[in-house]
Chains A and B, each alone.
Chain A
Amino acid sequence: MEFGSVLNALILGLSIASIWLIAALGLTIIYGAAGVINMAHGALIMLGAYSAYMLQHYVGVPYLLCIPASFVIVAVVGLILERGLIQYLYNRPLDTLLATYGVALVLVQGVRLIFGSDPKYLAVPEIFSSSFMIGSVSISTFRVIVLAVTALLVFGIWVLFYKTRFGVQVRAVMQNKEMAASFGINASRVYMLTFALGAGLAGVAGSLFGVLNIVLPTMGDSYVVQAFLMVVVGGGSLAGTIIASFASGELQSMFAFFTNDTFARFLIFVLIVVFLRFKPQGLFAKAGVRR
C-alpha cells in the first residue's frame, strides 16, 4: 500500500464529507430550529438541480449564477410549503414527517410530469470538468468547488446564527418558544424564515449534485436517509452535523479503500446504529426537556 493512495483516499474522504454535509445542512437548520423532520428534503435538492437546469437550458444563465438562483427559487418553494402546510403541524413531529413525505411524492411526480423522467444534464465550464495535481495527489476541480461552497455556507450560517439579531431570535425560539414570544420575538416568522433558509440550502446542494452526477426526478431520494443520519448523529446542532459528516465521509472513503463501496455503506449504517445505542442524543445534544 502506497502512502500516496492513502493520502488520495483521505482527500477523497474530505470531499465525500463535504457532499454529505451540504446535503445535510438544510436539514440540520430546519430540524435544529423547528424540530421538523423534513422528508421532502431530497425533493428540494432535486428541485434545486431542476431550477439550475431550467435556468441554464431555457434562459441561458451561466452555471455559476444558477447556484444562487437555485437557492432563491427553492427557498421560495420552502416558504410556500411552510406557510401552506408545515406551520399547522409544529406540535405534531411525526405528522410533519409524514406530511413532508407526501410533499416529496407530489414534488417528484410533478417534476416528472413537467420535465419527463429522462435524465437531464447541467453543462459546466470546461475547467470544472478537469483536475489538477498537487505533488502525487490528483484533485478534481469540481470537488474543490463543492468543498468551497460548503465551507462558505457553513461560515455564512455561523455568522447568521451567532452574529446577527436574527440568529439570536432563532436560538431564543429553539430554547423556549413561549419565553421567546414573551420577549416579543415572532416565533412563527422565525420558523418560516428558517424553513425557507433550509430549503434554499437544499437548492444549492441540488445545483451542485446535478453536475457531479445526473439530474433526475428521483435524484434526491438517496440523500435523505443519509443526510438525516448526519443530523441525528450530530444531535441536531450545526457543529454536530459537521463532525458527523466529516467522520462518516472519511470512514466511507477508508472502508471503500480497504474493502468495497457496498460494504463500506453497510458498515457506516451499522456504526451509526451502534453509536446511537450509546449516545442516543447524538454528539451535541440539547439537555432533555424537564417536566
Chain B
Amino acid sequence: MEFSRRKLLKTSLAASAAIGMPHLWIPGSSEAWGATLKKGEPLKVGVLFSLTGALAVPEEDSTLVLQYAFDEINKAGGVGGVPVEPIIVDAKSDFSVYSEKTKELMLREKVIALFACYTSASRKAILPTVMQRDHLLYYPTCYEGAECTQNAICTGPLANQHSKDLIPYMVENFGKKVFFVGSNYVWPKESNKNAKIWLEKAGGELLGEEYIPLGSSEFGPVLNKIRDAKPNFIFSTVVGASDIAFHKQFKQEGFKVDQMPIASLTTGEIETRAMGPEFGAGHFLSAPYFQSLDNPTNQKFVEGFLKSKYGKNGVTHYNMEETYLSAYVFKAGFEKAAAAVGFENVTPRAIRDHSAGVRIGDDISPEGEVWIDENNFNTWLKPKIGQCQGDGTFKVVKSADAQVAPDPFSIYPDLGVCTKDGLKAPDGKIRKSVI
C-alpha cells in the first residue's frame, strides 16, 4: 500500500471531474517542491518557532540564534554564493498554527528548507506536510528518535546518545540506586528506556518511575514516593515550567542536593535562571553544549552572539547551539548538493541526500566537531556532563572521549534499522516515511 503520486493524480482528477470543477494542480514528486532556484536571488528558508505563547521561552532563542547564524553566514559570502533570506514566522505555541504556517512557507513562499520546532508534538504536526512535499526540515533539538523519514535532519542528541555517559557517571559517583521522574509524554518515556539500558550495564538499580502531567506544578506526591524509596540520585526528564517547580519543591521539601542530586536531560541555563540559581546549584545535566565550554570557537560564539543585536536574553544554551549548528549543516549540505547537481537543480530533497556525512569542524562548532549520520541523518556528537554552579553556569565534569553514534531505533531492533531510503526491517523490506 505504497503512497503513489500517479494514483493520487488520477484519483484527484477523477474526483474533481465528478464534482465538475476544472481547476486543479497536483504536483508530481519531481516537482513537489514547485520552484527552481535562480543564481543571484537570495535563498529563502523558513524559520518557524513560537515567538508568543507558552513555547516562546525556548523557541524565541532559537529564532534569534538562527538570525545570528544567517547574518554570520551572509557576511562570509552566503550559501553557494548567494545570501540566505530567513523568513521568520511566529507559530504562536499553537500546533495547528505550526501546520498552517508550514504550508504557507512551503507552498506560497517556496522556501528551500525549514528550520522549525522545539517540541516533538509540533514536529509531528508538520512532518506529514513536509513529507508530502518531499521537503526538508531541520530539527535542532534533542528528541526520542523512532522516526525514519527522508525529509529531516536533526542536530540535537537522540535519546540513545543523551544519557549514555550520565547514568554510569552518576552510579559511579553517588551510588547504584536511582529514581526516574519525567513529564508524562513520549520523549521522557523513550529516554528512560534508553537510560534503563545504561543503568543495567552500570549495575545500577531502578527504584521507581513516575510521570507528571505536562504543566503540572504539584510534586508533593512524587517527592513523597522518592523520600520513601531513598535513592542515591534522581534521573529527571521533567520539562518546562514543571521542571522549575520540581527543583524548587525538591529543596522546599527538605531534599539535599549533595545527598541525592538530580541528573537531568533538560535543566540547562535558562531553567536555572528561571528558578533562581540557589535551586539549581549542585544538580547535573547531560548536554552536548554548555555556555561555559572552554574553547576558542565557543568563546567567539558566546561573545559574538551576546554582543549582537540578537543576544538580548544574555545566555547561550545547548538548544541554541544545536540550532546554530543546523544553519551550518544546511550551508554545507546545500553547497555539496549544488556542486553535484548544479545550483539551479538543487531541491530540498537533494540537499538532504547530499547532507549525508557532512562535517562541521571545531572551527565552527562550539561544542566540537560533529557530523551527520549517512543513514539516519541525525548527528554524531559528544555528550558532556555539567554540574550547575552557584551562579547558574555549568562546570563540565565529564566529556565523552569520542563522538557517539545516533541510533533512532536503538531500543527497537525488531523494527529495523534506519537507512537513507527508509526503515529497513529485519526481513529486508524498506518502509519510507516512518513517523
Contacts and interface: CB of A to CB of B under 8 A. Distances in A.
**A–B direct touch in complex (beta carbons closer than 8 A):** yes
A218 B52 CA distance: 11
Interface stretch (A64-72, A79-87, A115-123): A115-123
B215 A142 contact: no
A222 interface: yes
Interface stretch (A169-177, A200-208, A253-261): A253-261
A261 B211 contact: yes
B274 A120 contact: yes
Interface string B401-425: 0000000000000000000000000
Nearest to A128: B252
Given A117-B60, A260-B211, A262-B211, A8 B224 contact: yes
A45 interface: no
Given A261-B211, A262-B184, A214 B241 contact: yes
B217 A214 contact: yes
B119 interface: no
B228 interface: yes
A212 B52 CA distance: 24
Most B CB contacts (10 A, CB to CB) among A133, A212, A213 go to A213
A129 interface: yes
Given A213-B245, A214-B274, A214-B275, A16 B218 contact: yes
B227 A8 contact: yes
Contact of A257 (B215, B216, B224, B244): B224
A133 to B, nearest CB: 8
Given A253-B221, A261-B222, A213 B248 contact: yes
Nearest to B246: A213
A230 interface: no
A133 B254 CA distance: 9
Interface string A1-41: 01011001100100110010000000000000000000000
Contacts of A222: 215-217
Nearest to B244: A214
A141 interface: yes
A118 B221 contact: no
Contacts of B42: none
A250 to B, nearest CB: 12
Contacts of A131: 252-254
Contacts of B53: 117, 218
Interface string B261-288: 0000000001000111011000000000
A117 B52 contact: yes
Contacts of B60: 117
Number of contact residues on A: which range applies? 35 or more
Contacts of B220: 12, 15-16, 143, 253
A140 interface: yes
Given A119-B57, A130-B252, A265-B213, A256 B279 contact: no
A142 B252 contact: yes
A213 B244 contact: yes
Given A138-B253, A213-B244, A214-B245, A118 B224 contact: no
Interface string A221-254: 0100000000000000000000000000000110
A189 interface: no
A214 B60 CA distance: 19
A146 to B, nearest CB: 11
A218 B56 CA distance: 12
Contact of A213 (B217, B224, B228): B217
Contacts of A129: 248, 251-252, 278-279
A216 interface: yes
A112 interface: yes
B274 A143 contact: no
Nearest to B241: A214
B221 A212 contact: no
A198 B155 CA distance: 50
Contacts of A257: 221, 224-225
Given A121-B274, A131-B252, A253-B221, 4 more contacts: A117-B53, A118-B274, A213-B241, A260-B210
Interface of A: 2, 4-5, 8-9, 12, 15-16, 19, 112, 117-121, 123, 128-133, 138, 140-143, 209, 211-214, 216, 218-219, 222, 252-253, 256-257, 260-262, 264-265
